[in-house]
Amino acid sequence: MSRVYNFSAGPAMLPEEVLKIAADEMLDYHGSGMSVMEMSHRGKVYDGIIKKAEQDLRDLMQIPDNYKVLFLQGGAHLQFAMIPMNLMKNRKAAYVVTGNWAKKAYQEAAKFGEAIKVASSEDRTFSYIPDCSDLDIPEDADYLYICHNNTIYGTTFKTLPNAKGHDLVADISSDFLAYPVNVSDYALLYGGVQKNVGPAGVTIVIIREDLIREDILPGTPTMLMYKTHADAESLYNTPPCYNIYVCGLVFEWLKKMGGLEAMKERNEEKAAILYDFLDSSSLFKGTVDREFRSLMNVPFITGDKDLDAEFIKAAEAEGLVSLKGHRSVGGMRASIYNAMPKEGVVKLVEFMKDFEKNH
């Protein structure tokens, strides 16, 4: 067996320790005589698994008691619709458009009410975060929406927008658990887990209780009401049981690693290795404004498409895989989530140095 360093943006690397535990427990979970894949989601054993997963996540993120944690399906994409369906009381919401995902969320919201683009960085291909200190948000807007870390372009909000008293909603799909967050700065936080948390198929929503209401968009399907899932503690229908279990193993791993402060330090160290090299390289360069650089997704280019392709191919032969940039931007992108060990980033930079010497 030989495992590669996988720089995919998602589904992405999982901690090897977690995969080993999952493998060990595959045939017989804790003496139950069955795999977690095979057991009833209504049984006592599974109830223990999902409850512990939620508690560990609450501990890691210090989630206040007046927030619910929901394990849902449908990916981040379904939240693009569920958020306006459940939260647009006045049929009006403000969106900051900092990349493809924020743009898709904004476009989806426009199906349900008035979606107002209050800031955008599209003029320079999303290579920065616009000034959000004094946004023109209508008084009666129901919420302000951001995508906290822009997976495709590699930018992150370093300070939160001034929401001017409005509820702040954030997509944290690609920086979920990468560093501590102050949950109470937000009304709702959500993310698909397949970037930085677990196997695809689970979307975690952290929502302030007062936003879980019944008087929402008429005609909203039962399955798309936050209230349905909050009331049933994420067990309204069959959840993605096994995937939630693996997320739980990742939460345990994160606690063992020292929690989110320790992750932040680790992630800053890894990102600095790569960014410092990019800043000194004569061949490779980063594509976004320095002050907004993501700790998770690092896009870079040589400036020559053929050379980019040659680099990606040569890197793959060295066990440095999935470095191709998103189809909408090209070039390269190294996603260096929690599970990417420092050794992987060091090896990538060594390889880039060699490649630079030879080209």
Residue number, nearest CB to ligand PLP: 75
Query: Which residues within the stretch 182-241 sit at the binding site for ligand PLP (CB under 6 A)?
Result: 192, 195
Is position 75 an interface residue for ligand PLP (rule: CB under 6 A)?
yes
Is position 77 an interface residue for ligand PLP (rule: CB under 6 A)?
yes
Provide the minimum distance between the beta carbon of 173 and ligand PLP in the complex, in angstroms, as a whole number: 4
Determine the interface stretch with ligand PLP among 54-62, 109-117, 169-177, 241-249 (rule: CB under 6 A).
169-177
Determine the interface stretch with ligand PLP among 52-60, 72-80, 114-122, 321-329 (rule: CB under 6 A).
72-80
Is position 151 an interface residue for ligand PLP (rule: CB under 6 A)?
yes
Determine whether 253 is an active site residue: no
Q: Please, which residues have CB within 8 angstroms of residue 335's CB and are 6 or more apart in sequence?
A: 7, 8, 9, 10, 12, 151, 174, 195, 296, 297, 298, 322
Determine the interface stretch with ligand PLP among 47-55, 69-77, 132-140, 320-328 (rule: CB under 6 A).
69-77
Nearer to ligand PLP (CB atom), residue 66 or residue 107? 107
Q: Which of 86, 156, 174, 234 binds ligand PLP (CB under 6 A)?
A: 174
Planar angle of CA 355, 347, 301, nearest 5 degrees: 45
Determine whether 89 is an active site residue: no
Q: Provide the binding-site residues for ligand PLP, judged by CB under 6 A.
A: 10, 75-77, 101, 147, 151, 171, 173-174, 192, 195
What residues act catalytically?
101, 171, 195
